[in-house]
Amino acid sequence: MHSVDSTCFQNSEREHIEKIQAGHPKARTYFDQLVARYVSPLHRRCMAWLGCPHDADDVLQETLVRSYRYIHAYRGEAAFRSWLYAIADNQCRSYLKKRATHSQRFVSEELQEEAGSEDVCPLHTDGEGITRSVKSLAKSAQEVLVLRFEHDLSLEEISNVLGLGLSATKMRLYRAIDAAEKHVRKEDREVYATA
């Protein structure tokens, strides 16, 4: 059951979206107010994907620009938060593809060392907020676990973000939890064996 505050926020959110879609003179102000509560979770999401603050900042900015540009396409069938996460995920995927292509063509180990570690983000780094066990899992398992437990999305919202049916989302989540638990148990056995 939704709380009164949650219902009020959803109504306010819906009103802001309607004003923006209608081309209200203060549309940009309404948009800024609308996305303010999502900026930090979206940035964490981008960090989990990309592992680099510079890249996460760039992708977050592009996510916000695209969501403002295409807000007229938002129909309200999914929660606005889910819609934003889907845009962020698509931007992260595109960025990773672009980065991989660029690195394969132009970046060698020597060039990265010459550039210095301050300005160059590593191609594969550990994302903040994701445990070592989760990082060892397949990307699809990491994705569903982070959405559920770090970003606190419901199964329905995760389903919308990932573009999966609800039953497929549940199955992916349960399999990811099972895989993470198995990995933790394996690590525990290895620790006790070496102690």
* Residues written for the chain: 195
Q: Which of 148, 145, 151, 147 is nearest to 131 (CA)?
A: 145
| Claim to verify: residue 12 and residue 94 sit in the same structural domain | yes
Choose the final residue of a domain: 53, 82, 98: 98
Q: Is residue 136 part of a domain?
A: yes
Residue 138's domain spans which residues? 126-194
Q: How far is the C-alpha of 192 from the C-alpha of 187, rounded, in Å? A: 9
| Claim to verify: residue 26 and residue 92 sit in the same structural domain | yes
pLDDT on residue 26: 94
In 3-state terms, the chain is what percent helix, strand and coil (to 5)? 75, 0, 25
Q: Is residue 182 part of a domain?
A: yes
Looking at residues 28-35, what average pLDDT do you find? 94
Label residue 110 by pLDDT band (50, 70, 90).
Answer: very low
pLDDT on residue 71: 94
Label residue 141 by pLDDT band (50, 70, 90).
Answer: confident
pLDDT on residue 181: 77
pLDDT on residue 195: 53
Q: Is residue 107 part of a domain?
A: no
pLDDT on residue 109: 47
Q: Is residue 67 part of a domain?
A: yes
Q: Is residue 103 part of a domain?
A: no
Label residue 85 by pLDDT band (50, 70, 90).
Answer: very high
Is residue 91 scored above 50 in pLDDT?
yes
The CATH number that applies at residue 78 is 1.10.1740.10
Q: Looking at the 3D structure of the chain, how many domains does it have?
A: 2
Choose the final residue of a domain: 52, 81, 98: 98
Label residue 154 by pLDDT band (50, 70, 90).
Answer: confident
Is residue 171 scored above 70 in pLDDT?
yes
Residue 151, token pair as written in the block: 């970003």
| Claim to verify: residue 139 and residue 92 sit in the same structural domain | no
The CATH number that applies at residue 149 is 1.10.10.10
DSSP state at residue 146: I
| Claim to verify: residue 135 and residue 179 sit in the same structural domain | yes
What kind and span of H or E run contains 84?
helix 80-106
Lowest mean pLDDT among 21-25, 75-79, 83-87: 75-79
What is the value of pTM for the model shown?
Answer: 0.60
pLDDT in tens, 172-194: 988 888 887 777 677 656 655 66
